[in-house]
């Protein structure tokens, strides 16, 4: 299990919190105390910091545990509210603060689960209300359990450390990340429309950009009319201070890129993320790309002359009009006999199928494409040979 360090961190945080409340003989408020720790973890897991990304093996896993901690916190808060016998709207002001915090938390968690219908930007703004609820919750805890917060013992230390970590994480991700997290400034030097819906951007940065083939980055585009939120895209090539993104029109922002983006526009990029590191695969590899999920593989093909191991590459798309960079792939395959190119047009030959595939021991399978496709293939590969290493990434982490 590659997120082992991250999961241990969560369990250790929970264990030390329980121990601190029990050893202080303050079990009456233990559920609320635990909720303060799990809320602090919820904020930490939204920060995209490198250390946590490493511990959890990718920011999409961080987001998964972020959601889990948020739901767990709400359950704890409801338990706390019930155990105190509070009604829907309390009499006393400090208890009312607790009511407000709980209602805000519950509303945001519900919105997060029905958010598919909301615009991503709207959802992001609503999401931030949780930070106000967290501050109100801390204030409520402070007014009710002042002793637990202010005495000098393990309990106040645990409460203090997690409160500071939660507050700093919230302030960082809401107010600072957009300003200080994007350290790479650049401009778009070329905008190429590759087909009817896909654009390729070539960007020149003010300094060299460090990434591994298979990784992605968040980009902010400073052209009038463009949404301000950074969007994630796989890096589809580049060396030194040059970087490419290949972007399919799939919503407001990406359609703006296809239709309106101009050369010369200024951009900012944060850093490279992601655990799908193509160079870290074993000698024998299988690459599977579905649709625009081909972009992380393009970076390797674009920037390398020769491959060392053996790669079977499957690129699945629906109709040749939807495929990109097929010529580049064919040229790469000609130079590299160990690179077996399989172009699978589902309009012609149906969906890819690995049910009878001879999967050798010591193979790494890299996949990027629709989540359903990858889950299905992961099941098939696990049944065929449980020793293979499966590394895959979807283009979604809401």
Ligand X SMILES: Cc1cc2nc3c(=O)[nH]c(=O)nc-3n(C[C@H](O)[C@H](O)[C@H](O)COP(=O)(O)OP(=O)(O)OC[C@H]3O[C@@H](n4cnc5c(N)ncnc54)[C@H](O)[C@@H]3O)c2cc1C
- Name the residues that contact ligand X, by CB under 6 A: 119-120, 216, 229, 231-234, 246-248, 250-254, 292, 295, 395-398
Tell me if 327 sits within 8 A of 339, measured CB to CB.
no
Burial (CB < 10 A; 0-12, 13-18, 19+), residue 393, is buried
Look up tokens 């390729």; give the residue: 200
Residues contacting 236, CB < 8 A, separation 6+: 200, 244, 245, 246, 295, 296, 298, 299, 302
- Is the Cβ of residue 141 or residue 230 nearer to ligand X in the bound state? 230
Which uninterrupted H or E stretch holds 204?
A: strand 198-205
- Between 176 and 229, CB nearer to ligand X: 229
Taking CA atoms, 48 is separated from 31, 146, 161, 217, 292, in Å, by 28, 33, 20, 11, 24
| Shortest Cβ 306–ligand X spacing (Å) | 25
CA proximity to 82, closest of 32, 40, 39, 33: 32
> Which residue has its beta carbon closest to ligand X?
251
For residue 307, give the 3-state DSSP assignment. Answer: coil
In terms of CB distance, is 134 or 258 closer to ligand X?
258
Cβ 316 to ligand X, closest distance in Å?
16
CA 90, CA 106: separation in Å to the nearest integer? Answer: 17
Chain CA centroid to CA 104, Å: 24
Give whichever of 33 and 181 is closer to ligand X, judged by the CB atom.
Answer: 181
CB of 243 to ligand X, least distance (A): 12
Q: Give the end-to-end CA distance of the chain in Å, rounded to a whole number.
A: 22
Residue number, 100 or 277, with CB nearest to ligand X: 277
Distance CA 257, CA 259 (A): 6
Work out how close the CB of 82 gets to ligand X at its nearest, in angstroms, rounded to a whole number.
Answer: 34
Shortest Cβ 278–ligand X spacing (Å): 14
Q: Least distance to ligand X from the beta carbon of 262, Å?
A: 18
Nearer to ligand X, 33 or 291 (CB): 291
Distance, in Å, from the CA atom of 124 to the CA atom of 204, rounded to the nearest integer, reads 29
Can you read off the two tokens belonging to residue 31?
């559920």
Contact 307, 335 (CB under 8 A): no
How far apart are CB 196 and ligand X at their closest, in Å?
14
Closest CA to 336 of 364, 363, 365, 311: 311
Nearer to ligand X, 98 or 181 (CB): 181
Nearer to ligand X, 74 or 276 (CB): 276
Least distance between ligand X and beta carbon 294 (Å):
9
């Amino acid at each position: 299990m590659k997120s082992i360090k991250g999961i241990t961190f969560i369990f250790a945080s929970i264990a030390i919190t329980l121990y601190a409340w029990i050893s202080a003989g303050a079990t009456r408020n233990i559920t609320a105390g635990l909720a303060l720790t799990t809320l602090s973890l919820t904020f930490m897991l939204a920060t995209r910091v490198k250390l946590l990304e490493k511990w959890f093996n990718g920011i999409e896993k961080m987001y998964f545990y972020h959601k889990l901690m948020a739901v767990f916190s709400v359950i704890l808060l409801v338990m706390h509210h019930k155990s105190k016998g509070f009604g829907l709207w309390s009499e006393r002001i400090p208890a009312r603060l607790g009511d407000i915090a709980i209602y805000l938390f519950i509303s945001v968690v519900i919105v997060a689960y029905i958010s598919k219908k909301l615009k991503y930007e709207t959802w992001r703004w609503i999401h931030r209300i949780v930070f106000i609820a967290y501050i109100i919750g801390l204030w409520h805890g402070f007014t009710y359990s002042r002793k637990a917060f202010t005495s000098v013992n393990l309990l106040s230390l645990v409460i203090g450390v997690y409160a500071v970590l939660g507050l700093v994480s919230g302030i960082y991700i809401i107010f600072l990340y957009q300003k200080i997290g994007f350290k790479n400034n650049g401009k778009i030097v070329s905008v190429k429309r590759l087909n009817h819906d896909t654009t390729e951007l070539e960007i020149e940065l003010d300094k060299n950009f460090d990434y591994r083939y298979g990784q992605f980055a968040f980009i902010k585009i400073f052209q009038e009319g463009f949404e301000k939120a950074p969007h994630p895209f796989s890096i589809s090539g580049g060396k030194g201070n040059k970087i490419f993104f290949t972007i399919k029109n799939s919503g407001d922002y990406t359609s703006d890129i296809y239709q309106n983006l101009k050369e010369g526009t200024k951009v900012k990029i944060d850093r490279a993320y992601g655990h799908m590191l193509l160079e870290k695969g074993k000698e024998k590899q299988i690459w599977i790309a579905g649709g625009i999920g081909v972009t992380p593989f393009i970076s390797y093909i674009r920037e390398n002359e020769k491959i060392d191991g053996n790669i079977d590459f499957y690129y699945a798309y629906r109709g040749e009009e939807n495929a990109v960079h097929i010529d580049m792939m064919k040229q790469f395959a000609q130079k590299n006999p160990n690179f077996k190119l399989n172009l699978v047009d589902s309009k012609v030959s149906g969906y890819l199928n690995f049910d009878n595939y001879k999967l050798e021991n010591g193979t790494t399978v890299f996949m990027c494409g629709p989540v359903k496709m990858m889950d299905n293939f992961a099941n098939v590969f696990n049944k065929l040979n449980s020793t293979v290493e499966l590394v895959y990434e979807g283009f979604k982490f809401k």
